[in-house]
């Protein structure tokens, strides 16, 4: 799986920096005639530029793609044609995407007259916490929506299966952890649902007992204890030089280090981690301990679990082959799938062997008495947009 991740990294990097610069000659040797579209992508409330969004036009022959920059701006060069569908997506395109019609005019740059608002197409829910409010960023800052659910809803997969994403704030863990919740979450992630958890919510992943040594088993939790162990040993502190090691996150932030404030003590410090299962995105340079991790490698093998999420059949997520062994996950209209399969694509996201959801875990809070740093806010935006 490590090789897969390395592959994914190279693939995503090559998409970032070399997309659609491959050639300007079509298969038949005739020079390709292209034009350029420029524009800006923002959140629905117009307040937040959407960074690192994938912008593409897909023809039967070729995918023309680029990413938005740190200000949400893009410049996409594609084959000429009127009424073409210009797609904008983040993540796999199954939770956030917009499609507009554009005319690509030969040898001309056409600026879009309106900003593109990135639409939410997945169903989100959150579990309120004591110290955290991820919903502040999701709803207030970005302008998306999520339903508040409670401990009763998570006792059974039926209570959460309509959602594509669950946000679990720190402090939501307290009294109600049990094997029913473990089973619900296990089926949720295996069925393609994504989870975000912060700090003490680690209990939902590997279970309780976070004050004891890592050799002591954790109670409950649906992820094997061997994949990650944290202890509540974090001190009130600032990590001034946290290392951003994920290339995607570096692109999103526009830098590779940042300051993270831990305003409350006894946070979940990660002691050990299985790097084949988890991808570490941010570390503390003093001991290299992970501060932000994610995985899409979880699956419980239960083929009888119900389908999860909004289950929109009008669009299909596929792994599109870019050539040279690289690939990219896009979500396209259902009626475009046949063309993609014909040039060697496959159904489902790339580099996701079980088509499971993501699990993101942050050791740091998402609400610092209502005030988090801009950098932390941007990290949480990235996480939300790429679940
Ligand atoms: Zn394709």
Q: pLDDT class for 173, splitting at 50, 70, 90?
A: low
* CA dist., res. 294 & res. 278, Å (int): 6
Average pLDDT, the chain: 89
Q: pLDDT class for 318, splitting at 50, 70, 90?
A: very high
Vertex 144: Cα angle to 139 and 145 (nearest 5): 75
Q: pLDDT class for 225, splitting at 50, 70, 90?
A: very high
Q: Give 23 Cα–ligand 1 centroid separation in angstroms.
A: 17
* Structural contact between residues 147 and 170, judged by C-beta atoms closer than 8 angstroms: no
User: Does the pLDDT value for residue 105 go beyond 90?
Assistant: yes
* CA dist., res. 334 & res. 236, Å (int): 50
pLDDT at residue 386, as a whole number? 96
Q: Give 282 Cα–ligand 1 centroid separation in angstroms.
A: 32
* CA dist., res. 132 & res. 364, Å (int): 10
pLDDT at residue 4, as a whole number? 41
Q: Which two tokens stand for residue 213?
A: 């040594």
Q: Give 317 Cα–ligand 1 centroid separation in angstroms.
A: 11
User: Does the pLDDT value for residue 369 go beyond 90?
Assistant: no
The share of the chain scoring above pLDDT 90, in percent, equals 72
Answer with the residue of higher pLDDT: 295 or 218: 295
| pLDDT tens per residue, range 329-350 | 999 999 999 999 999 999 999 9
Q: Give 72 Cα–ligand 1 centroid separation in angstroms.
A: 25
Q: pLDDT class for 175, splitting at 50, 70, 90?
A: low
pLDDT at residue 204, as a whole number? 92
Give residues with Cβ within 8 angstroms of 198, minimum separation 6: 129, 132, 134, 168, 169, 170, 361, 362, 363, 364, 365, 366
* CA dist., res. 81 & res. 69, Å (int): 25
pLDDT at residue 370, as a whole number? 57
Nearest to 131, CA basis, from 262, 30, 326 = 262
Answer with the residue of higher pLDDT: 62 or 366: 62
Model confidence pTM above 0.95 = no
Task: Please give the DSSP secondary-structure letter assigned to residue 211.
Answer: T
* CA dist., res. 221 & res. 49, Å (int): 37
Average pLDDT over residues 104-115: 97
Q: How many CA atoms lie within 13 A of 193 on its CB side?
A: 31
Q: Which two tokens stand for residue 287?
A: 């001991």
Q: Which two tokens stand for residue 207?
A: 């279970």
Q: Which domains does the chain have, with CATH numbers?
A: 2-119 (2.60.40.10), 124-301+354-385 (3.40.50.880)
pLDDT at residue 180, as a whole number? 94
Q: pLDDT class for 196, splitting at 50, 70, 90?
A: very high
pLDDT at residue 311, as a whole number? 82
Q: Give 49 Cα–ligand 1 centroid separation in angstroms.
A: 28
Answer with the residue of higher pLDDT: 116 or 6: 116
Q: Give 334 Cα–ligand 1 centroid separation in angstroms.
A: 12
Give the least confident one: 3-12, 85-94, 183-192, 345-354. 3-12
pLDDT at residue 172, as a whole number? 74
Q: Which two tokens stand for residue 77?
A: 């060069």
User: Does the pLDDT value for residue 81 go beyond 80?
Assistant: yes
The DSSP-derived string for 125-171 is EEE--SS--HHIIIIIIT----EEE-TTGGGSGGGTTT-SEEEE-TT
| pLDDT tens per residue, range 15-43 | 444 444 444 444 556 778 999 999 999 99
Nearest to 366, CA basis, from 196, 237, 216, 239 = 196
Q: Give 327 Cα–ligand 1 centroid separation in angstroms.
A: 9
């Amino acid at each position: 799986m490590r090789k897969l991740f390395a592959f994914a990294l190279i693939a995503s990097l090559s998409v970032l920096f070399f997309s659609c610069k491959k050639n300007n000659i079509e298969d038949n040797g005739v020079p390709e005639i292209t034009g350029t579209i420029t524009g800006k992508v923002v959140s629905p409330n117009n307040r937040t530029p959407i960074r690192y969004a994938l912008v593409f036009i897909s023809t039967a022959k070729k995918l023309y793609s680029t990413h938005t920059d740190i200000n949400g701006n893009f410049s996409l060069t594609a084959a000429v044609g009127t009424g073409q569908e210009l797609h904008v997506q983040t993540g796999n395109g199954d939770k956030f995407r917009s499609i507009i019609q554009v005319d690509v005019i030969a040898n001309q740059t056409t600026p879009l007259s309106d900003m593109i608002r990135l639409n939410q197409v997945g169903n989100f829910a959150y579990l309120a916490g004591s110290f955290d409010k991820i919903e502040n960023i999701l709803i207030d800052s970005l302008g998306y929506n999520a339903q508040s659910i409670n401990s009763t809803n998570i006792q059974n997969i039926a209570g959460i299966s309509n959602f594509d994403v669950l946000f679990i704030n720190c402090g939501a863990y307290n009294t109600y952890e049990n094997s029913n919740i473990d089973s619900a979450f296990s089926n949720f992630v295996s069925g393609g649902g994504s989870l975000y958890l912060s700090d003490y919510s680690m209990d939902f992943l590997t279970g309780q007992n976070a004050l004891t040594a890592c050799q002591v088993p954790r109670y409950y939790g649906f992820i094997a204890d061997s994949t990650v162990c944290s202890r509540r040993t974090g001190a009130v502190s600032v990590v001034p030089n946290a290392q951003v090691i994920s290339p995607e996150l570096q692109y999103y932030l526009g830098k590779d280090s940042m300051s993270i404030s831990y305003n409350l003590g006894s946070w979940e410090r990660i002691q050990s981690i299985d790097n084949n299962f988890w991808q570490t995105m941010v570390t503390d340079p003093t001991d290299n301990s992970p501060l932000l991790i994610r995985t899409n490698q979880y699956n419980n093998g239960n083929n009888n679990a119900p389908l999860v999420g909004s289950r929109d059949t009008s669009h299909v997520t596929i792994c599109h082959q870019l050539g040279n062994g690289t690939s990219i996950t896009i979500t396209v209209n259902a009626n475009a799938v046949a063309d993609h399969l014909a040039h060697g694509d496959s159904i489902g996201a790339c580099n996701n062997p079980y088509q499971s959801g993501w699990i993101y875990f942050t050791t740091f809070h998402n609400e610092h008495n209502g005030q988090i740093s801009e950098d932390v806010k941007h990290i949480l935006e990235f996480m939300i947009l790429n679940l």
